[in-house]
Each structure stands twice: as C-alpha cells, then as structure tokens.
Amino acid sequence: MSTKNSQEIVDLLIKQENIESAFKVYYNMTELRKQIIENYLYKQLAEYANEKNMEFKYDENFVYGSSSSWFELRKTDWKHLGIAFYFIQSEFKGFLWTLEVNDRYEYSKEQQKHLSIFDNKVSESRPYGEIYHNDYMNWNSETFVDIVNGAFAKVIIENIEQLLNVIENNPELEL
C-alpha cells in the first residue's frame, strides 16, 4: 500500500466518528485471520485432499500463526511422512514446507536423500529436505486476500502436485 493511501486511511480512521470502530476492527484482527483460515483455506485444502484420497490435518494453533504450527496432507498408505507446511517463527513468519516425519520414526543417514524440489537441509525429521515458501514466507494482508480468493490454495496445491510427481519418480523413497 502506498504512503499516500496509508495516510488517507489513517486520516479517515482518526475522525472522531470512526475512532471507536477503528479500534474494534484492530482488536478483532486475530479472529478475522482465524475465520479466514478456517472458512477458506481449510475448506479448500480439505476438498483437495478428499479428491486425492489424502488426509488433511492441522495444528489448532496454525490459525494464530504460532511458531511450529502446521497443516499437513498425506496419502493414507504413507506410514511415516506427510507433506507439511508450517511456520518456524510466530506471527505468521517463516512459512516453509517439507516432507515431515509425523511419528517417532527416525530416518537414518542412509535413508535421507535430498530431493531437488527442496533445499538440501536433510535431517531425521525432514529426511528429504525443506524449503521456505518464497511466495508466502511472511504473511501479510495480501496473503489473507489470496486465501479468500483461492490464489493461496492454488499455489499450495501446485506445490503438492509437484512433490507428488517427484515422489512418483523416486519409488525408492520410504514414505
């Protein structure tokens, strides 16, 4: 948003007849973001998961942008891994995605294999790497607009499809 637009909005909000409403909006931003995620993003991804015969799960704190909060999609025949998207920082910051171990199973060094779709940060919990989601690494108002209009889910689904193709071309992966 341009400085001029920002100033026009502030000028409008600080008028005596608008100030109370401005603060009501401000104090309800957490609930607004929560409702957008639950009513749009979760529904869009659950619908996709259902079409692809996948499970869709999420951490209850994801709607608050909490550090280490996540959502995940996984095929029902995958024993140990899910396609996970999560924040590594609070306040909707550091959004990344990976194939994440979803139980106590540990991948040995021999089982770990960097997949070209990810950065080469392999570990026991992320045996095939991880990558920051550059398009949506730090969420802002534009991210929530994209969630409502479906653009965000479209990008996430493209990521999932891309990863599913990589998995199909690497049948030796332990999932």
Specify the pLDDT at position 81: 83
144 within 8 A of 92, measured Cβ to Cβ: no
Q: What is the mean pLDDT of residues 124-140?
A: 87
The answer as to whether 7 is a domain residue is no
Residue 54 CA to residue 71 CA, distance in Å, equals 13
Whether the pLDDT of residue 127 is over 70: the answer is yes
Q: Rounding to the nearest 10 degrees, give the CA dihedral for residues 16, 20, 22, 23.
A: 140
Provide Rg for the chain, Cα atoms.
19
Q: Given a cut of 90, is residue 112 above it in pLDDT?
A: no
pLDDT at 122 over 70: yes
pLDDT tops 70 at residue 108: no
29, containing H or E segment: helix 29-36
The four Cα atoms 140, 145, 148, 153 give a dihedral, to 10 degrees, of -60
Q: Give domain status of residue 80, yes or no.
A: yes
How many CB atoms are located within 10 Å of the residue 49 CB? Answer: 19
Residue 100's H or E segment, with its range, is: strand 93-101
- The pLDDT assigned to 117 comes to 83
Domain range for 43: 37-168
Convert the pLDDT of each residue in 51-105 to its tens digit.
999 999 999 999 999 999 999 999 988 888 889 998 999 999 999 998 887 766 6
Contact 139, 156 (CB under 8 A): no
Residue 161 belongs to some domain of the structure: yes
* Residue 112: inside a domain: yes
The terminus-to-terminus CA distance of the chain in angstroms comes to 44
pLDDT at 173 over 90: no
**Quick one: average pLDDT of 105-127?**
76
Residue 140 has what pLDDT? 94
- For residue 73, give every residue at least 6 positions away whose Cβ sits within 8 Å of its Cβ, in sequence order, or none: 45, 48, 49, 52, 54, 55, 56, 82, 83, 160
Predicted TM-score of the model (pTM): 0.85
CA neighbours within 13 Å on the CB side: how many for 65?
Answer: 22
The verdict on residue 8 lying in a domain is no
Q: Which of 155, 165, 148 is nearest to 42 (CA)?
A: 148
The count of structural domains within the chain is 1
| 1 within domain boundaries | no
Q: pLDDT above 90 covers what percent of the chain?
A: 55
**What is the distance between the alpha carbons of residues 27 and 89, in angstroms, rounded to a whole number?**
22
Domain assignment present for 22: no
Is 32 within the bounds of a domain? no
